[in-house]
Structure formats: C-alpha cells, structure tokens
Amino acid sequence: MSADTAAVPRPPARTASAPVLTGAEAVVRSLELLGVTDVFGLPGGAIMPVYDPLMDAEAVRHILVRHEQGAGHAAQGYASSSNKTGVAIATSGPGATNLVTAIADAYMDSVPIVCITGQVFSTLMGTDAFQEADIVGITMPITKHSFLVKRAEDIPGAIAAAFEIASTGRPGPVLVDITKDAQQTEVPFVWPPKIDLPGYRPVTKAHGKQIQAAAQLIAEAKKPVLYVGGGVIRAQASDELRTLAEATGAPVVTTLMARGAFPDSHAQHLGMPGMHGTVPAVLALQESDLIVALGARFDDRVTGKASQFAPHAQIVHVDIDPAEISKIRTADVPIVGDLKDVLVDLEAAYRTAAAGESADISEWWSFLDGLRDEFPLGYAQPTDGLMAPQYVIQRIGELTGPEGIYAAGVGQHQMWAAQFIKYERPNAWLNSGGAGTMGYAVPAAMGAKVAEPDRVVWAIDGDGCFQMTNQELATCAINNIPIKVAIINNSSLGMVRQWQTLFYDGRHSNTDLNTGHGTVRIPDFVKLAEAYGCLALRVEKEEDVDAAIKTALETNDRPVVIDFVVSADAMVWPMVPQGVSNSYVQYALDHSPAFAEMED
C-alpha cells in the first residue's frame, strides 16, 4: 500500500464526551485501548512528546533498549513467540533508520509489528532539518503500509489501522510516522475510530472448487509431500495441519521458518528441506509427484535451481498472499485463503475424495524410510581437540525441552539449532529466515521472554552475531528479563568460512574473529557479560557442557551467558550448493566423501 493520510478517515467532530488530548497522549491512549501491554523503544527529540505521557501509562510497560535495531528485533521476538503484535518506538532520522533492518526482517518473515516513529515538524519537512529522514519513503518497499500523520486528529485512526493491517491477511510490519507538531496539538480523542482501508481486503475463505481439485490430486498421488512453510505458524494452524497429515498419511517437511509447525517426533515428519535439510526431506520434494505447499514460498534455499526443482511434481499452492502463488513455481491448483480454514476444508474434501479409492503410497514410504535409515542426521567429531558445536546445541535442546523458546542468530549455529534441537510445538523456534540478519538472537530472545515470561528462552548465537547486538544484555539485566545466551564461539564468521573452505580453496579472507581460540580473546565474552550484569561462564570441554547448561536453567535472577568454545572446522551438513539442483544431493551421496560425515 502507498503512504498517505487519506487512507485514515477523519474522526468525528468534537463532542461533549470526547476528552481533549494531545496527539502524543492519543498515541499512548490508543495503544492502551488496543490492548498493548509492552513496547520497546528509545526516546529522542522528535518522539519526546510521546514519552512524557508514556511515563504515566500504567497499562503499557516501556522497555528502554540500547539501540533501535534491538527494539525492532525485540518486537519481532515478542510477536513470533506469542502471536501478538509487537511494538517498537523510535525518534526521527537515525532513530528511525536504525529500525529499518528489523522492519525488513519482519517483512521477509511475515512478522506482525507496528513501528511508531517521530518526525520533524511538518513545516520543516523537506528542508533537511536536524534528524530529518523520509522514513515513510525508505520503508515503503519493506512494510505492508507506511503512514505519515501530520494532524493530531488522525492519530487514533492511523494507529488502529496499523494494527489491523499488521495482524490480518499475511502478517507484516507497519510504520506510523508522526510529526512533532501533530504530537503536541490538542484535539478531542474519539474512540474507536472508523477504519476504512480501500483496496485492503485479505481473502480468507478459499474457493470450494479449488479445494476439491486439490483433494482429488492428493487422493490420486503416489508420491505426495506436504511442504510446510512459516505460514502455518502465522495462521496458528498446526493442529489443523496434523489432522490433514494423519488423514492423508503423506510425508511432511517443515522449512526453516516452519520448525515446530509439525512435531519432529511424528512418524510422518522427514525434517527440514533445503540447502541444509535432511536427505529424506530434500529428496522427498525432488522425487515427488505432488507437492502440497502450505504457507511456503518456494524460497531459493529450498528449491535450489528452481527450473530443476521437483520436475515430476504437480503443485497445490495454498497461501494467504496471492502474490506468492506461482511466483516461483506455477501452481496446478492455486488456493488463496487462511490456512487455518483451508486445512479444515481440505481435510474434509480429501476424505470425500478418498472414500472411493486412493493411491497406495506404501512404496513411496518404503523409499523414504530407507533414506531415513541410511542417512540419519549426524556430525563428525572435530580433530582439533575442541568441542563439536552440534553436541552443545543438542544438549541445550535436550536439557531444556520442547517447552522452551530458542532464538538463533544467522549462520552455522542457526542451521545446527534448526537441525539438532527437537521442536514439538509452534512458536518455539525464532530466527531470521528471509533476511538472514546477524544480531537477531539476543534482542529477539529478550522480546520473547517479555511475551512469555514463564518459558525458558535461549538465544543461540555465534560470536560474530553476538557482537552486533549484545548491548541489549544491559536492557535484560536492568529490566529483569533473564534470558539464557549460548555463544557458539568458533572464533570466526563460521558460515562464510565454510564457503571459503569449500569454494575458495580454503582462503579464509577476513573471517577470523579472534574471540575464542588461543590465549588472546578480543573481546573476552565472560568479562563482557559480567560487565553487563550477567552470570557468565566459559566451557571448553565436552564433560562440562551439561553442568553449565543446568546452571543456566537454574538461574532466573539475571541473564546468563555461556561462552562455548568450539571447533572452527565443524561444518553444516548436508549442503546443497547455491544455484544447483536438489538432485545434487543424490549425486553427492553417491560420489562425495564429504557427505560421509552425515553417517558418523
């Protein structure tokens, strides 16, 4: 949607019963009436009027971050763990632009957040005033909508509309930029405002004939696969997915964004597909005759070379966003609708279609079970005397359990956390999937802990990612947000180093970080964490891993940071190189000694 104020209706004229508030007071009151209880932000000149009434708000807890990017990722973690809409607040100029990375991240991963930013006086806009930036223009490509509000009377409508847009249809970020004069002007406050959004009509109910056509294809398929994306989690449709899967008996693969949408322990689950997916999941898609894509977008990390992806498969594509359907792979049966409703209708239609006669998929399962037996997920022990990072992450998952929340940074540790922690429920796995944002984990874990205070929340981070946003440990310590942080410290930018090892003749250009190996540690993560008010531990031997994790689990009066010093030579396997066909996996299994690591 384009940015303007016309999309927000003018509130009714002053009435005797309408209290007179400043625009800033209207911002806070609107948040309260929308049920917002927690916001993350950092004040500055252009948003200062809002911070004055925010100080007196009893229903809204403001958490002062150390960097606006942290506010954005915290809002994401809050939303992704709780199915609520996260809120971040920042000032104009650099305050607003510091939110851009988190906004882009939320847009890629369909996370509902509302970002409220201050703007310079409307009379100064366009003059290059102090801390002026066209944040509406900057964020227009990476938001569902960006509002510019220049009149105080438009504030309640803009904020109410922002929450409506962020949380409906395909979820995503919405920006509300409010000029300083609009914040300072007094006007009658009328609630609820009438929300009128011309052209915004998300389709939730799918067409019945498309449902029937999809059900018939599933009943006839001999090699079906349910390809599950993050849309299932955003739609809160995990129970409905399980019902459909068990009715059809089809194998299920869950993408990086969908980990936990279907239980890892379920017999029909083959694991994660894609570049670093399991062999059964990758080859199930590649060899299938029918792919039922549910809230998935055929991302390049899943398909590999798209023109050679699943060459024999028909495609049923279900998504709330019609723009995703047939964008990468043409759908034989396109279905636009809310997955929670679509899955119910599809399961009922399948039972009708299969009542006569359905295809026998026992041979298909025999093939897939053979792959599971022959190529279980595994890893090789390092030969340099340092710990295997996979072991550390696996033990974190085993000792914490499925009720925990795990937020990962980006890189090798992200892939290992997706592979070696078992996810049994939705909203347990938080990560930056589409944007791949380093620095996501700590603030996202912070936001998740605020939203779900009774759950154990881990940030599983790399030594590179951790150094981008670790200042939010101060926020956690001061605000009694006791997250656990596991730094998987291989003293390098691990995923880039892996690619350099494999594709650049081992020339490790600018990927050594000097954080964990040898006598010099810059920085010393234990000292750094202690300076931030955290309990800090360092683990260098496998026999000490469990004790450190248990100490973290038992400590709830402050954040805990564990510096796990691991091997830099560990790699993420399997791996389908970028830009090649997923058929490469079968070739590699037959010809590449590197894939032998999976069997160890």
- DSSP conformation letters of 264-284: TTSTTEEE--STT--HHHHHH
CB 476 within 8 A of CB 453: no
What is the SS3 assignment for 179? Answer: strand
At 153, the amino acid letter reads: E
- Residue 28 CA to residue 353 CA, distance in Å, equals 53
| Residue position matching structure tokens 């700590």 | 442
Kindly state the tokens that stand for 163: 């929450």
Which distant-in-sequence residues (6+ apart) come within 8 Å of 8 by Cβ? Answer: 147, 149, 154, 157, 158, 161, 193
Active site residues: 68, 130-131, 180, 495
Residue appearing with tokens 């792979």: 329
Residue 443, sorted as left (phi over 0), alpha (psi -120 to 50) or beta, turns out to be: alpha
First to last CA, the chain: 51
Q: What is the DSSP letter of 453?
A: T
Q: Which of 102, 406, 111, 371 has the alpha carbon at shortest distance from 253? A: 371
Contact 500, 571 (CB under 8 A): no
CB contact at 8 A, 217 and 193:
no
Q: Where are the beta strands (DSSP E) in 5-155?
A: 20-22, 38-41, 61-64, 86-90, 113-119, 145-149
| Cβ neighbours for 559, distance < 8 A, ≥ 6 positions apart | 473, 476, 477, 481, 482, 483, 484, 485, 529, 532, 533, 534, 535
DSSP single-letter state for residue 449 = H
